[in-house]
Structure 1
Amino acid sequence: MTLSSGEVRAIIGPVDEVLLADILATGASARELAEAWAWVNAEEALADEGRPLPTGRIARLVDLLDPGQENEL
């Protein structure tokens, strides 16, 4: 199931309308957005746990949420 604007705000907090539209356009689920948000906020911890780097929609969301991180993952 795709996200609503309320779900996006519940997961990541306040968000501008452009980013909100970009996130919704991905067709991602709440679970995918939550996982991407976790990568943005705890990349090293997740990598240390041996979790595979994000791919697909999750990777796209990471790029949207933290554009400067694009080359770090």
Structure 2
Amino acid sequence: MTLTLDDMASVLGPVDDTLAAELMATGATLVELEQAWAWINADEAFINAYKPLPTGRVAQLIEILAPPDDEQ
């Protein structure tokens, strides 16, 4: 099932319409959004645990949600 506004709010908190539309356009699920959010907030821990890098929709979500390196 694709993301709903309630799904997004449960993971990210309030989101604006533009971000919501971008996230919905990926066709991602709540589980994929949760995975992407976990990677954004703990990527070093996952890499140190030898988790494979995200692919597919999870990677798309990370690209949308994570600021570019020069903005961190």
- For 1:24, the aligned partner's letter is M
- For 1:21, the aligned partner's letter is A
Aligned residues: 69
* Residue of structure 2 equivalent to 1:57: 57
Q: TM-score, normalised by structure 1?
A: 0.88
**Structure-1 separation of matches of 2:67 and 2:33:** 15
- After superposition, the CA RMSD in angstroms is 1.0
**Structure-1 separation of matches of 2:49 and 2:12:** 23
**Structure 2 unaligned residues grouped into runs of 5+:** none
**Structure-1 separation of matches of 2:25 and 2:37:** 16
* Residue of structure 2 equivalent to 1:24: 24
Q: CA deviation at 1:7?
A: 0.6
**Structure-1 separation of matches of 2:67 and 2:25:** 17
Q: Does residue 1:48 correspond to 2:34, yes or no?
A: no
The percentage of counterpart residues that share the same residue type is 48
**Structure-2 separation of matches of 1:50 and 1:66:** 21
**Structure 1 unaligned residues grouped into runs of 5+:** none
